[in-house]
Structure 1
Amino acid sequence: MARPKKLLDAATKNLTIEEKEAKLEEEKALYNYERINFKNYPTALLKQAKKEWDRIAKILGELPLSELDQQTLIRYCNYSYLYAQATADLTLEGSVIEGRANPLVNIMNSYSKELKAATSELGLTINSRLRITTPKSEAIDDDPFAKMFGDANA
């Protein structure tokens, strides 16, 4: 099975100039698709999941998500709501009912698996974001330790 592709910024392999240019061309194609329109709620989105839709719209930033990813995002929002609801119900009912495990525990596990899959596909987990891009290190302008040890950049 082939490894998942990484964006150029996240790649650690030493690439030739030609390979870098080819990879950049591939990445440009990610942004050729229509971006998700968060102003309108999709019909498949549960009414109670609209709050999560609005929340996630604010934090997605520059991830290359398009209308093609809409169904995965709907699935994420719906399962996020359903998981929260099951958690609230389990808190009220308890994890054991009449000496047996509450069926909500199994339901929560199922929702959790669905959430994990959707978050990974959308780049919402740390590991999946690292496959998309590497975090930019912020330069410290006035680093006293760098000056003390004679760093030319300080």
Structure 2
Amino acid sequence: MAGRNKQPLSVIQGNGKSHHLTKEEIKKRAEHEDKMRGNTDKVEAPSYLLKKQKEEFDSIAAELLELEIMSNLDVDTLSRYIEAKSEHQRLGPIIRNLHPVEDMDAYTKLNRTRKQLSDECRAYASDLGLTITSRLKLVIPQKEDDKPKNKFSKFAR
């Protein structure tokens, strides 16, 4: 039986469940996560994407970079997402122009392909944090300045 996925330190701290981690463990884990985050100096649309796809890539990448959840390592995943999404959208009008009874074989095959592309899009979107549920898993802890003041905090040392 597999255990749960390892959660980022910010999620653990954001949930207030970091009491089982020592200061040393927190420091090591934070350093490790910073190393694993990756660089962002080469986040640009690949040359094989079409012009409109590159524009979408740039738009989505800018938002993900602003959220600090994208790096150079995610460029390929975002490109695949955009390609699958484009193909999914391209099949829509073709399928709508077919008659389900008269063109049953073509209709069935194209619908099956469109469903596979939809599933691909959903998986990539989840991996990239493009869905509301995947973003909600990204709990960002409040900074000390943002935390509400406790009326007794002035007595703390």
TM-score between the two structures when normalised by the length of structure 1: 0.70
AA paired with 1:10?
V
Counterpart Cα distance in 1 of 2:85 and 2:26: 38
Identify if the C-alpha distance between structure 1 residues 72 and 51 changes in structure 2 by more than 3 Å, giving closer, same or farther: same
1:134 corresponding residue in structure 2 = 139
- 1:43-82 matched pairs, under 5 angstroms: 43-60=47-64, 61-82=66-87
In structure 1, the gaps of 5 or more residues are 142-150
Counterpart Cα distance in 1 of 2:68 and 2:53: 21
Share of identical aligned residues, percent?
30
Aligned length: 138
AA paired with 1:57?
A
* CA RMSD, 1 decimal: 3.0
In structure 2, the gaps of 5 or more residues are 152-157
- 1:5-154 matched pairs, under 5 angstroms: 5-11=6-12, 12=15, 13-14=17-18, 15-38=21-44, 41-60=45-64, 61-93=66-98, 96-98=100-102, 100=104, 102=107, 103-131=109-137, 133-134=138-139
Contact 1:49 / 1:80 at 8 angstroms: preserved in 2?
no
Q: Relative to total residues, which structure has the larger helix share, 1 or 2?
A: 2
AA paired with 1:66?
S
Counterpart Cα distance in 2 of 1:3 and 1:35: 32
